[in-house]
Amino acid sequence: MTKTSPSVLAVFLLLSLCFMQRIGAVPVGPVMLEEEQQGENEVRQPHADKTIDEIIVDAYGGLEAEEAVEEFRMMVEGVETEGMDTLLTPEQAAILHNAAEGGMSKRRLATFITPWAGRVVPYDISGLPAEHHDMMMEAFREWEMDTCVRFVSAQPQHQHRIFFSDGNGCSSFLGMTRWSEQPVTLGSACHTKAVYLHELGHALGLVHEHRLPQRDRYITVDFGNVNPRFVDQFYKYSASEIPDAEQVTYNLRSIMHYGKHAFSKDRRLQTIYAKDKSQEDLMGTSEELTTSDIEVINLLYNCNGWK
């Protein structure tokens, strides 16, 4: 039998290894232990470098994805959006049709946002992938911790409820609607605790921070850098619509605040400038509730003295 020389065998093995790497049979580079792989995954968490508005916009394929945006806006007849992730009932949308930069129509909050009856929010979590249930429960607990609002599993006797669906984009209605069931949609790009807290904030009745009536004392909006299709997302609410706004300090780190490039023409142009420059890069990056987020809910639900 002819013997294969060591040098030829070495070359054969090397070529075989290269081929297997090409087809993915052998990993390129050093093999990681399971613990090392987990550490690598932790460093590269999805969305770690994105603000909450960027996550939401990307969930719809970007501001240029007109078909996706229009599909979102037409989910229910008469439904419109506020900030791309908030569904508005026809009644709420009618109020916004008369919006102007100086403030909206002189109608009180009670006509625009309805708190949940009895401070209880029934929910149906069955439409959310099971691997995300624990994180949603954590978000429930965080909202409950310092407020009088309670999230409970929906039962037949509950006339209203939110139900979670794993659909397109991230969205929620604003406050309790007249419908018995209202969706909170959390697509594959939306599964972060910050997005969960943000969308639950909308479901409870919170609007985006950058649209509060007192915002001009804390931020400057550069309308020249805003995508023309989304200029309306920077219109302010009037003090008569959000009568309790001045009772809570405007917070650049609110879970409801968008980032400095929100609705930008090209994502490089800045649309929101903070008067406090030390906080500018923090807008839209919060992953937990702020004191102001909690205070607004306690005002909206009349939690003072509640036990």
Q: Tell whether residue 261 is among the known ligand binding residues.
A: no
Q: Tell whether residue 132 is among the known ligand binding residues.
A: no
Residue 199 is among the residues annotated as catalytic for this protein = yes
Burial class (CB in 10 A: 0-12, 13-18, 19+), 282: middle
Q: What sign does the dihedral 191-291-294-248 (CA atoms) show?
A: negative
Q: Tell whether residue 198 is among the known ligand binding residues.
A: yes
Catalytic-labelled residue, pool 199, 209, 241, 295: 199
N-term to C-term CA, the chain: 90
- The closest alpha carbon to 143, from 23, 264, 256, 17, belongs to 256
* Sequence ranges of the binding site for Zn(2+): 198, 202, 208
Q: Which residues are catalytic?
A: 199
Q: What residues are designated binding site? A: 198, 202, 208
